[in-house]
Amino acid sequence: MIDSTSTISDTGGGQGQTSNKNINPFIRPRILLTGLRRSGKTSIQRVIFTKMQPSQTQFLESTSHLTLNQFSCGSFINFQVQELPGQLQIYASGLNSGNGGNNGQASSYDDDSMTSIIGGNYDLERLLKRCNAVVYIIDAQDDYSESITRLNTIIQKGRRINPRIRYEIFIHKVDQLSEETKIETQRDIHNQVRDRFSDPIGGMEPWSPISPMSNSSSPEILINFHLTSIYDHSIFEAFSKVIQKLIPEFSHLERLLNYLLSTSNIEQAFLFDVQTKISIATDSSPTDMQMYELCCDMIDLLINMSEIYGQPNEDGSQRTTDDDDDDDEDYFNDDSDHNQGHEWNIVTQNEEYDENNIQLNGSRKSSFVNSPLGTTPIANHQQTTLLETTSEPASAVFDSMSSSVIKLTGGRALYLKEINRHLALICILREEALTKQALIDYNVRQLKKSIIKLFRLNYQVSRRNVSSSHLVE
Ligand SMILES: Nc1nc2c(ncn2[C@@H]2O[C@H](COP(=O)(O)OP(=O)(O)OP(=O)(O)O)[C@@H](O)[C@H]2O)c(=O)[nH]1
């Protein structure tokens, strides 16, 4: 079993249930994606969200502005990724620097009072205050000492401003490293970060490992490390873990999957977003990386086979054949006003910092694939929310008829079933368990109904919340 994630904290290797409770289900969680120049930030987004071939990423131009990508998958995965380009330098905020001569010059990142403003007039404090997770990319093939210095600065600032931030450190580009070097690099980076926070700084509490029971008001720092590469599935697995911690329904989904396992003789179950191959939930057993990869391959196989031999619905709507599907199905399949399929929305939401410096990433196809960078600057001092959406519908061939069973050598099997047009359940089980496939099918249908109800409930509450906030306005 391979697990590319390690953690400083006791909770990091798990699914982060504690942090999900802090996520307001009505606010789109924000991920601040940052790291030094050329560390691989844009490549990661393109490979995961636009299906760009990893080899194509070498032609990407450097990102020069803060960009905001909003991702939606039906009503399930909703989050924003703010990419803070590596070329931006952190500058002295000026007034309280205690080093007057340093104004306007790049700081050493070490003095907390000196690191408020990032070159280009972005306010790091504000970005940290508003984000739920920082994904920090370290290029493992490069000398990473400067990168760690910068990371430590961000953590130091973040723990003062927003102690609930989760730091997900991607030790990236490990595809060129031997297994031994990977482990050594991870240990080295882990130690350098831990050592930095083992001493009290500026009156703050020292670094202390967190436990699942940790008090939300504690100053403990939530840090996870992931070994990643865009050239294999590790980047999907790592990003899945980041997303799972931000999905408010995650613990409910996990419980439902655990229940399915216990009733159906299944070894492991994943809920996959079909387009991105992000796993939005798993049962609570540790993830088997090789099985995870096989599940991703199974999705590709199913979609490819269906595209060749399947019959896409002419009207794009989903066929419903399950006898006992009820009205809940309509909620999932109704794209009228909320289930807009996969979207890369172009959004700024009344950002208070200098908005003319924000660049907006557009749709998966038109912006990212057809144009070199696909970013569009918005007008200066934009006051209203900009929302330009180009939706890419979920696969036309993935519908309620989509299901598959693949028997593997070694006595195991993979079982795939559509949950809705965005989500697939994939189970790993012993081949013998398939002798009771009717039971599994039945249980999966019950699971599907429960998931639909769960999201419908959340959707209704969020809608009510939105309309009442309009009334207040
Ligand atoms: N070997 C390897 N190269 C990678 C990986 N990810 C990205 N790269 C390469 O790293 C280079 C820089 O990638 P970018 O995505 O442009 O990096 P960035 O962090 O967005 O850079 P800035 O926009 O300048 O901040 C490209 O040539 C990518 O092909 C990886 O996992 N492995």
Tens digits of residue pLDDT in 127-172? 898 889 999 999 999 999 999 999 998 998 888 888 889 999 999 9
Ligand 1 centre to CA of 174 (Å) is 12
pLDDT greater than 60 at residue 18: no
Ligand 1 centre to CA of 86 (Å) is 11
pLDDT greater than 70 at residue 298: yes
| pLDDT at 55 (0 to 100) | 95
| CA–CA gap between residue 212 and residue 19 (Å, rounded) | 9
As a whole number, mean pLDDT of residues 229-250 equals 89
| pLDDT at 270 (0 to 100) | 92
Residue nearest to atom 12 of ligand 1 (CA): 38
As a whole number, mean pLDDT of residues 61-82 equals 77
Going by pLDDT thresholds of 50, 70 and 90, the confidence category of residue 400 is confident
**Maximum mean pLDDT: which of 22-31, 209-218, 425-434:** 425-434
State the amino acid at position 81 in one-letter form.
V
Burial bucket for residue 352 (CB in 10 Å: 0-12, 13-18, 19+): exposed
Ligand 1 centre to CA of 139 (Å) is 8
Return the DSSP state at 204: P
As a whole number, mean pLDDT of residues 100-115 equals 42
Instruction: Give the β-pairing of 133-139 and 386-392.
Output: unpaired
pLDDT greater than 50 at residue 442: yes
pLDDT greater than 50 at residue 7: no
The beta-carbon contacts of 352-357 under 8 Å, at least 24 apart in sequence, are: 352/126, 353/121, 353/122, 353/123, 353/126, 354/120, 354/121, 354/122, 355/380, 355/381, 355/382, 356/380, 356/381, 356/382, 357/65, 357/66, 357/120, 357/121, 357/122
Given a contact cutoff of 8 angstroms between Cβ atoms, the answer to whether 166 and 132 are in contact is yes
| CA–CA gap between residue 425 and residue 301 (Å, rounded) | 15
Residue nearest to atom 7 of ligand 1 (CA): 40
Ligand 1 centre to CA of 235 (Å) is 13
What are the structure tokens assigned to 212, written together? 């699942």
Ligand 1 centre to CA of 472 (Å) is 46
| pLDDT at 50 (0 to 100) | 85
- The total of other beta-carbon atoms located within 10 Å of residue 213's CB is 8
Residue nearest to atom 29 of ligand 1 (CA): 58
As a whole number, mean pLDDT of residues 20-44 equals 78
What residues contact 114, with CB distance under 8 A and at least 6 apart? 90, 92, 93, 97, 99, 102, 107, 108
| pLDDT at 196 (0 to 100) | 74
Name all residues whose Cβ lies below 6 A of ligand 1: 35, 37-43, 57-58, 60, 62-63, 85-87, 172-173, 175-176, 229-231
Ligand 1 centre to CA of 104 (Å) is 28
For residue 57, which atom of ligand 1 is closest to its CA?
A: 29
Task: Determine what percent of the chain is predicted with pLDDT higher than 90.
Answer: 26
| pLDDT at 375 (0 to 100) | 30
Task: Determine what percent of the chain is predicted with pLDDT higher than 70.
Answer: 59
Ligand 1 centre to CA of 39 (Å) is 5
Ligand 1: residue of 43, 55, 138 to mutate (most ligand atoms within 8 A of CB) is 43
What is the set of domains in the chain, with CATH numbers?
A: 5-244 (3.40.50.300), 250-334+396-472 (3.30.450.190)
| pLDDT at 120 (0 to 100) | 59
pLDDT greater than 90 at residue 323: no
pLDDT greater than 70 at residue 248: yes
pLDDT greater than 70 at residue 244: yes
Residue nearest to atom 6 of ligand 1 (CA): 40
pLDDT greater than 80 at residue 48: yes
Residue nearest to atom 3 of ligand 1 (CA): 173
Q: Kindly report which listed range (23-32, 147-156, 204-213, 421-430) carries the lowest average pLDDT score.
A: 204-213
As a whole number, mean pLDDT of residues 15-20 equals 43
For residue 230, which atom of ligand 1 is closest to its CA?
A: 31
For residue 39, which atom of ligand 1 is closest to its CA?
A: 19
For residue 231, which atom of ligand 1 is closest to its CA?
A: 31
Ligand 1 centre to CA of 63 (Å) is 11
| Runs of H (alpha helix) within 131-198 | 145-161, 179-196
pLDDT greater than 90 at residue 187: yes
Ligand 1: residue of 33, 45, 57, 82 to mutate (most ligand atoms within 8 A of CB) is 57
Look up the ipTM and state it.
Answer: 0.98
Ligand 1 centre to CA of 59 (Å) is 9
pLDDT greater than 50 at residue 380: no
Going by pLDDT thresholds of 50, 70 and 90, the confidence category of residue 109 is very low
Ligand 1 centre to CA of 57 (Å) is 7
Ligand 1: residue of 56, 60, 142, 226 to mutate (most ligand atoms within 8 A of CB) is 60
pLDDT greater than 50 at residue 186: yes
Going by pLDDT thresholds of 50, 70 and 90, the confidence category of residue 286 is confident
Residue nearest to atom 2 of ligand 1 (CA): 173
Ligand 1 centre to CA of 372 (Å) is 15
Residue nearest to atom 8 of ligand 1 (CA): 40
| pLDDT at 76 (0 to 100) | 61
| pLDDT at 383 (0 to 100) | 29
Instruction: Give the β-pairing of 386-392 and 342-348.
Output: antiparallel
Ligand 1 centre to CA of 38 (Å) is 5
